[in-house]
């Protein structure tokens, strides 16, 4: 029997457009076999040992994944920011250390997207970290595109992760991720300038 998994996204941070849903999005999806974490081997090993740990997000891969979605709507390509990366990693580490809680940093001037993936749970009780990649994370946010209506600048369901992903005025991004003690994982991306500004369109 294949393992089960739960994907879980926190709402996007920033000044939200009027129609954006603020509740977290939960998806139950079909399981897939896993033999790696899809991230750095050292972090996967630490996760396997039952310790909360952070690891560097591959910058080139995450930047490419973001800019693929931005190119679709004509938004300028983002640049990678080490400052935002440090900030995102700090928050991912904090969330992982607190049991993979999912909430945004308060009173922040930057945009923020958070992605959470539970561990794979096998019928025999064994757990593994999911093989999540930067492309998978960005694509998961990008799938909210179907919920956004550009004509009315509103959405049905959650689309705040998508609109931050493609927000035309955002110029920089930096991301971090961390494994939790139970082999779940949390990914954080911060954006400057922040998107999801009330009354404005993402592109």
Phi first, then psi, for residue 53 (nearest 5°) are -155, 145
| Range 175-182 average pLDDT | 96
| Range 31-38 average pLDDT | 35
| Range 35-53 average pLDDT | 44
Joined together, the tokens standing for residue 188 give 């954080």
Tell the burial category of 48 from Cβ atoms under 10 Å away from its Cβ (0-12, 13-18, 19+): middle
Helices and strands in the chain, H and E counts:
5, 11
Question: Could you tell me the CA-to-CA distances from 61 to 8, 39, 67, 80, 95 in Å, in that order?
Answer: 21, 11, 10, 11, 23
| Range 52-78 average pLDDT | 92
- Report the alpha-carbon distance of residue 23 to residue 189 in Å, rounded: 19
- Report the alpha-carbon distance of residue 78 to residue 75 in Å, rounded: 9
Check residue 100 and give its pLDDT: 83
Q: Which of 16-30, 66-80, 130-144, 176-190 has the lowest mean pLDDT?
A: 16-30
Within 8 A by CB and 6+ apart from 172, the residues are 78, 79, 80, 81, 84, 191, 192
Q: Is the pLDDT of residue 27 over 90?
A: no
């Amino acid at each position: 029997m294949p393992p089960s998994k739960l994907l879980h996204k926190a709402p996007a941070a920033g000044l939200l457009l009027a129609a954006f849903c603020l509740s977290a999005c939960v998806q139950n999806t079909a399981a897939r076999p896993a033999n790696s974490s899809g991230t750095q081997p050292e972090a996967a090993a630490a996760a396997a040992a039952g310790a909360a740990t952070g690891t560097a997000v591959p910058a080139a891969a995450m930047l490419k994944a973001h800019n693929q979605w931005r190119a679709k709507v004509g938004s300028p390509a983002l640049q990678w920011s080490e400052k935002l990366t440090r900030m995102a990693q700090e928050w991912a580490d904090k969330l992982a250390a607190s049991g993979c809680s999912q909430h945004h940093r308060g009173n922040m001037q930057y945009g923020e997207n958070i992605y959470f993936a539970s561990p794979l749970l096998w019928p025999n009780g064994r757990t593994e970290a999911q093989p999540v990649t930067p492309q998978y994370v960005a694509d998961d946010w990008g799938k909210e595109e179907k919920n956004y209506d550009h004509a009315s600048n509103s959405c049905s369901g959650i689309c705040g992760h998508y609109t931050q992903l493609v927000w035309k005025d955002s110029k920089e991004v930096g991301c971090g991720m961390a494994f939790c003690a139970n082999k779940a994982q949390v990914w954080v991306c911060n954006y400057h300038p922040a998107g999801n500004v009330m009354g404005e369109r993402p592109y």
